[in-house]
Amino acid sequence: MNQSTDSPSNPAPNGTVVERPKYTRRATSAGNDFQGQLKILQGATNGDNGVEGVETVTVDGKPVKIKHSGIVRTIPHEDSVAIPPGSGLDLVATLFYKTCSSETVDQDESTARPSRQDIHYGAYISDMAIFEFIQTIDRLIVPWKKGSAYHRSLDSSQSPQVVEIALSMPQMLNLDDLRRHSDLWQFEQKWNIEVVLQQNDVFRRYRRLAVFDMDSTLIQQEVIDEIARFIGVEEKVSAITARAMNGELDFTQSLKERVSLLKGVPATVFEDLKSVITFTNGAKELCKVLKKLGYKMAVLSGGFIPLANYIKQELGLDYAYANQLVVSQDGKELTGELTGDIVHAEHKAVLLEKIASENGIPLQQVVAIGDGANDLKMMRKAGLGIALNAKPNVQAEAPCRINSTTMQDVLYLLGLTKEEQVQLLKD
């Protein structure tokens, strides 16, 4: 059942007018209170199901006429599939309920932040949130046409934290524009949800190469800051690192400046650091699953090769590229200089393309994950580029973003359910 109002309709290409209905959904497994909640949302205060031509008044006093739209949304059963074969749906959205605090991307000050609605339904992705997300995308379809949508929970059918929705892509927008649309930002703020959008094609389901940044991505530390701690210049080096990762400084120049402060550090520092390196939560699980699925994996780091090789060995990666520090002739200490190619933003993108080419992997089948401004070029080069717990300005520029307590959540973007992840993690 739908409401028709005096709001403008969308013209079809042939000049006729097509009214845009508001969707309703038939409750199946989601509970008996859904239809009541839906009536409150739409202002349908009279009748059980709404009758063709019946007039009523919304909660804000606006007169409306209820009529059939011919569109029904259903809540899938636990054993449903996300995208039925031959559906023709070309957009996939993965919705994450935000369970951790993050530095989010804000719109301009003129955009009012909506009030939180998830507090009324529980700390999960509710049916009402799913309903409103489908409506949000539907409003962006110009000219409007009847469409379909299908969704499934990827972790829990009772109180889902991750939901995958397949629907039609608005023709007037490209994927980058849609990802940054203010309507999606409003939805995310209102329901405490992060949305990741992907093109629904064969490459989304069959990635083959994953490349990672190292510092603050696969591991929790910034290695150069840890080295600086040995000689008491940590504060100065950390300040330069933060500005470089935020995109405020040229990476190459800032790296040389920081490395110059490391002159005299014992060459054994990398062995000492291995004992303090902390892997990011979920990094080992993510790499284990990808390895079982046959992925090639690489670490492309603006840090240093001794620790990049250590990370490669610990996580079972196939490639490691990073910067090389010069050691004194007697092999006892660092000279404060670099040798060889510097692994900056442009070089990371080149390395990604090189590894993909060597393995006969199209770029559409590559996943690139990082947190800094120097990771943006490789993110854009990959079929799926993810800013993981990144600074706000990096999140704003990245193709996709996740703010999560575990890297394992990346697997949801590949369409893997929680149950499938558990199965793949078994030895």
Best CA proximity match to 295, nearest among 357, 363, 208 = 208
Bridge partners for 150 per DSSP:
166
For this structure, is 106 an active site residue? no
Bridge partners for 319 per DSSP:
298
Which two tokens mark 294?
Answer: 């046959």
Residue 6 vs residues 9, 64, 94, 205, 380: alpha-carbon distances, Å:
9, 9, 34, 43, 43
Which two tokens mark 239?
Answer: 């300040």
From 118, 127, 155, 215, the catalytic residue: 215
Measured CA to CA, the distance from residue 311 to residue 11 in angstroms comes to 57
Which two tokens mark 27?
Answer: 């409750």
Residue 275 vs residues 60, 121, 262: alpha-carbon distances, Å:
62, 45, 20
Amino acid identity, residue 66? I
Instruction: Calculate the dihedral angle through the C-alpha atoms of 31, 36, 41, 44, rounding to the nearest 10 degrees.
Output: 150
Bridge partners for 300 per DSSP:
321
Residue 11 vs residues 17, 148, 388: alpha-carbon distances, Å:
5, 20, 41
Sheet with 2-4, strands from edge to edge, namely 2-4, 63-67, 54-57
For strands 296-304 and 209-212, give the pairing: parallel
Measured CA to CA, the distance from residue 348 to residue 382 in angstroms comes to 11
Structural element, H or E, at residue 412: helix 410-413
Measured CA to CA, the distance from residue 234 to residue 230 in angstroms comes to 8
Which two tokens mark 165?
Answer: 């929705």
For this structure, is 215 an active site residue? yes
From 118, 213, 371, 375, the catalytic residue: 213
Structural element, H or E, at residue 335: strand 334-339
Active site residues: 213, 215
